[in-house]
Amino acid sequence: MRTNFLSILLLLDPVLGRSPYLFHRGLSISIRARDGTPPGLNSRCATSISSTLGGGSGPSNPSNEGSTSTLEVGTDNAATEDMQERSNEKSSRGESLESSENSTNEIMQSVDPKPLPSNSSNFSETENASVDTHATGLNSDNDSIEREASAAVSSLPVEISNETQQLTKKEIRRKKKEVVRSHKLYAKKLKNRNNLNLSRKLLHAGFGLFFATLNLKLPRSKFIPGMTILTSLTLTMEMLRYRKSFGWMNDVLHFVLGSSLRKHEMEGKFTGSFYYFLGVTITSALFTPTCASLGICQLALADPSASFFGRQTRHVYWSRIENGFFGLGRNKGFLGFLGGALFCFPFNYRVLSVARFGATGIPGGKQSVAIASIALGLAGAFADLCVPTPALTMPKKILGVPMPNFHVDDNVVVPIISGYACTKIFTKLGWSHTVNLAKFIIY
C-alpha cells in the first residue's frame, strides 16, 4: 500500500516528476506554476514520502504512524479519482507543452545548453530512482526540443564564421585598393634628394637638349601651344594622381621614369617634370628662339652639374651657405656654383662658335665668344644657387581655399633667368638676339 501511495503521489506532483530532468537540460521552466500546483505541495509531498517510507534522520514518532494508517484507508478511492484527474490534466499539459517548446527554443538559442548540477541533497536515492522512471516518459518530447536547440546552436558558429570570412574579404579588398592607389609603395623604393642619382641628372640633361633643339626647329606657333598642352596635361596628372581611383597614374609614372624619381615626388609633392615643362614653356614664350634655347641649355647643364659638384664638396665647410642670404641659396655652396658655371663654359663656347652671325662674322671675335660663354654659365649656376633647399612652398590654404602643392623650383627659375641674361649679354656684345644657331645646336 505504501508503494502504491508513493507512485500516485509522484504522478500528482509534476515538480518531482519533471523539474530535475528539465534543470538537467539547463531550462528554467516552472511547470508547477503552469499546472497550478500549490506552492507548499512539494514540501508536503516530501514530508508524506518521508513518513510513509519510514525514512528521515530523526527517531520514529507514534503520531506519524497514526497519520500513515489514516492515509492508507482512503487510498483506493482517492487513487481512482486522482488517476481520472491526471488523465484530464495530461491533455491540458500537452497543449501548454507545445507553447513551452517555442519559448524553450528561444531560450536554447541564447543560452549555451550545458547541464547544470542537480541538487541531489534534496532527494534520497529511492526518490531519484522514481523520478528518473517517471521522466523517461518525457524523453521523446524533450529529445526533439534538444535536437532543435542543438541544430540552432550548431548553426551559429557557421554563421559567425561566414560573417567573419566576409569581413576578412572586405578588409583584404580594401587593403588591395589602398596598395594599388598608394604612391607610398613607390616612395619606399626611391631615394631622397641627397642621393647623387646620376640617372636623373642624365635624363635631366637629355630632355633639356631635346627641347632646346625642338624650339629651334619648330615655329613658335606650334612649339609654344604644344608645350602649353603638355604642361597642362602634366599639371592635371599631378592634381589627380594622389586621389582615389587614379593610382594607375603613379604606376605609369614609375614605369616611365623609374629610379629617376625622387622620394618626395611620391610623398605628396609634384614631380620635377611639371616644373621642367613649365619652365621651358615660359622661356620659349618670353624670349626669341635663340635666347630661349640657350636658356634651356643652361637648365639642361648648369642645374645638374652644380648639384653634382655641390654634393661632392659638401664637406668643405667654408663654401657652404647654411641659412642663405635672406633665404636665397640656403643649404647650397659656392663650390657647387662655380662647378656648374665652369661645366657649361665649353658647351656654350662650342654652340656660339658654330653659330651663324652673318656675313660680317662674330662681332668681337673669339674673345667675345668666351665672355658670352662664361657669362651664360654663371647666369645659369647663379639661378640654381638662388633657389633654396628645401624649396619654398605655397601655404596649403589661402583665405580658406585649398591651394595646390606648388613650390619654387629651379626648373622654372634657371631657364627664365638664363634666357633673360642671354638677351642682356648679346646686347652688351652688340650681337643680334636672332643669331642663327646650328641645326642641332652643337653642329
pLDDT tens digits, one per residue of 200-222 = 999 999 999 999 999 999 999 99
Q: Judge contact between 87 and 71, C-beta under 8 A.
A: no
Closest CA to 386 of 356, 359, 408, 368: 408
- Beta strands 401-402; 332-333: pairing state: unpaired
Q: Are residue 298 and residue 257 in the same domain, yes or no?
A: yes
Indicate whether 337 belongs to any domain. Answer: yes
- Give me the domain span that covers residue 219: 184-429
Q: Are residue 268 and residue 320 in the same domain, yes or no?
A: yes
- Look-up of cell digits 567573419: 164
- Domain termination residue (choose one: 137, 154, 171): 154
Q: Are residue 144 and residue 252 in the same domain, yes or no?
A: no
The Cα–Cα gap between 251 and 186 comes to: 9
Lowest mean pLDDT among 25-29, 101-105, 125-129, 329-333: 25-29
270 exposed, middle or buried (CB, 10 Å; 0-12, 13-18, 19+)? buried
Residue 130, H or E segment: helix 125-135
Cell numbers at 410, concatenated: 629651379
The Cα–Cα gap between 386 and 325 comes to: 9
Q: Are residue 232 and residue 338 in the same domain, yes or no?
A: yes
Q: Are residue 277 and residue 390 in the same domain, yes or no?
A: yes
Coil vs helix vs strand at 57: coil
Lowest mean pLDDT among 56-65, 329-338, 345-354, 360-369: 56-65
Q: What distance, in Å, lies between the first and last C-alpha atoms of the chain? A: 135
Q: Are residue 254 and residue 127 in the same domain, yes or no?
A: no
Q: Is 41 a residue whose pLDDT tops 50?
A: no
Q: Which residues contact 247 (CB under 8 A, 6 or more apart)?
A: 180, 181, 182, 183, 241
What is this structure's pTM?
Answer: 0.60
Q: Are residue 64 and residue 113 in the same domain, yes or no?
A: yes
Q: Are residue 202 and residue 64 in the same domain, yes or no?
A: no
Indicate whether 174 belongs to any domain. Answer: no
Q: At what angle do helices 247-257 and 220-240 cross, to 10 degrees?
A: 120
Mean pLDDT of 409-413: 94
Indicate whether 177 belongs to any domain. Answer: no
The Cα–Cα gap between 351 and 440 comes to: 9
Q: How many domains does the chain have?
A: 2
Q: Which residues contact 285 (CB under 8 A, 6 or more apart)?
A: 224
- Domain termination residue (choose one: 104, 139, 154): 154
Whether the upstream peptide bond of residue 415 has omega within 30° of 0, thus cis, is no
Indicate whether 378 belongs to any domain. Answer: yes
Query: How many beta carbons lie within 10 A of that of residue 340, not counting itself?
Result: 29
Q: Are residue 144 and residue 250 in the same domain, yes or no?
A: no
User: What letter represents residue 411's amino acid?
Assistant: N
**434 pLDDT band (50/70/90 cuts)?**
confident
Q: Are residue 225 and residue 332 in the same domain, yes or no?
A: yes
Q: Are residue 120 and residue 226 in the same domain, yes or no?
A: no
Cell numbers at 187, concatenated: 616612395
Q: Which residues contact 112 (CB under 8 A, 6 or more apart)?
A: 26, 153
**88 pLDDT band (50/70/90 cuts)?**
low
Q: Is 319 a residue whose pLDDT tops 80?
A: yes
Indicate whether 160 belongs to any domain. Answer: no
Cell numbers at 317, concatenated: 665647410
Q: Are residue 115 and residue 14 in the same domain, yes or no?
A: yes
- Counts of helices then strands in the chain (DSSP H, E): 17, 4
Indicate whether 277 belongs to any domain. Answer: yes
Indicate whether 439 belongs to any domain. Answer: no
Indicate whether 425 belongs to any domain. Answer: yes
